[in-house]
Amino acid sequence: MKRNIERLGRVVLSSLHVVGGLSILFGKILVALFPPQSDLRETWRAFYKVGVLSAPIVVLTAIFTGAIMVIQSGHFVAQTQATSFVGWAAGFAVLAEIGPILIGLMFSGRVGANNTAELGTMVVTEQVDALRALAIDPIRYLTVPRFVAMVVMLFLLTALGDAFALVGGAFTADILLDIPMTIFFQQVMEAHLLDELFLGLVKGSMFGMTIAVVSCYFGLNVEGGATGVGRAVNASVVTAAIGIFLADLVVGVGWSLL
């Protein structure tokens, strides 16, 4: 019993330590954002790596997401003949909930893990210490460009993913349910899903913020050489996934109260 309590205490203290570290890093990033003094070349490099290189996997994920939503609703539609609700149901689920979460998780697995590994390697090879020795703030030089890139690009990638998810859903509905693509998109337009679209984009930005802070935190706090980098990447991906679901809950509850 005593050992179990000790283990629980260690887990709680470790979690509080991580939460505190994330909060401190987030505050430092916000302070370093103003006035903007980031290296433009590093910022554009981050935008390219984070956004452009992630677009193909996001598009592929979105197309399959839209298709799966229509396939899952196909049995219900066939039983009730509720074909007029297919576009509305798929649009609502993709724009407000499923789309942003799946894109965020894919983004975390690709970009967040890579960012943690890159920063962790820089810490292990003492490149971060070299920056400090040259009076260069690692937060402003390394973290801020990545933070801005992830927030902005995940917002844009969520919008891109929404569009391709609807295309994938429309194409699947045309093939499996004999609902023409024009009718599908007409149903989506008639459903007036602008609020859901805006909610999904807000979630995308929040997910980008979460992934950026988590991945940078674990990357900059690597200990134990190459093995430590592997542990940091694993912890980063898991923590970012938890953060995505928590952010989704907070944004959803806050949105419902407005």
The domain locations on the chain are: 38-257
Q: What DSSP string runs through 185-210?
A: HHHHHHTT-HHHHHHHHHHHHHHHHH
- 97: exposed, middle or buried (Cβ count in 10 Å: 0-12, 13-18, 19+): middle
Cα(164)–Cα(6) distance, rounded to whole angstroms?
Answer: 49
Q: How confident is the model at residue 213 (pLDDT cuts 50, 70, 90)?
A: very high
Kindly state the average pLDDT of the residues 91-97. Answer: 83
Q: How confident is the model at residue 218 (pLDDT cuts 50, 70, 90)?
A: very high
Q: Say if residue 214's pLDDT is above 90.
A: yes
Q: What is the pLDDT of residue 25?
A: 92
More confident residue, 105 or 195: 105
Kindly state the average pLDDT of the residues 170-175. Answer: 88
Q: What is the pLDDT of residue 204?
A: 93
Q: Say if residue 87's pLDDT is above 90.
A: no
More confident residue, 120 or 3: 120
Q: What is the pLDDT of residue 242?
A: 94
Q: What DSSP string runs through 163-192?
A: HHHHHHHHHHHHHHS---HHHHHHHHHHTT
Q: What is the pLDDT of residue 4?
A: 77
Kindly state the average pLDDT of the residues 176-180. Answer: 82
Kindly state the average pLDDT of the residues 87-95. Answer: 81
Half-sphere CA count of 79, side-chain side, radius 13 A: 5
For the chain, give the longest Cα–Cα distance.
Answer: 70
The residue assigned the tokens 């677009």 is 55
More confident residue, 154 or 195: 154
Put simply, whether the predicted model's pTM sits higher than 0.85 gets the answer yes
Closest residue by Cα to residue 103 from 52, 46, 63: 63
Q: Are 208 and 183 in contact (CB under 8 A)?
A: no
Q: How confident is the model at residue 78 (pLDDT cuts 50, 70, 90)?
A: low
Residue 182: phi and psi, rounded to 5, are -65, -40
Q: How confident is the model at residue 126 (pLDDT cuts 50, 70, 90)?
A: confident
Q: How confident is the model at residue 94 (pLDDT cuts 50, 70, 90)?
A: confident
Q: Say if residue 53's pLDDT is above 70.
A: yes
Q: Say if residue 7's pLDDT is above 70.
A: yes
Q: Are 190 and 132 in contact (CB under 8 A)?
A: no
Q: What is the pLDDT of residue 70?
A: 84
Cα(112)–Cα(118) distance, rounded to whole angstroms?
Answer: 10
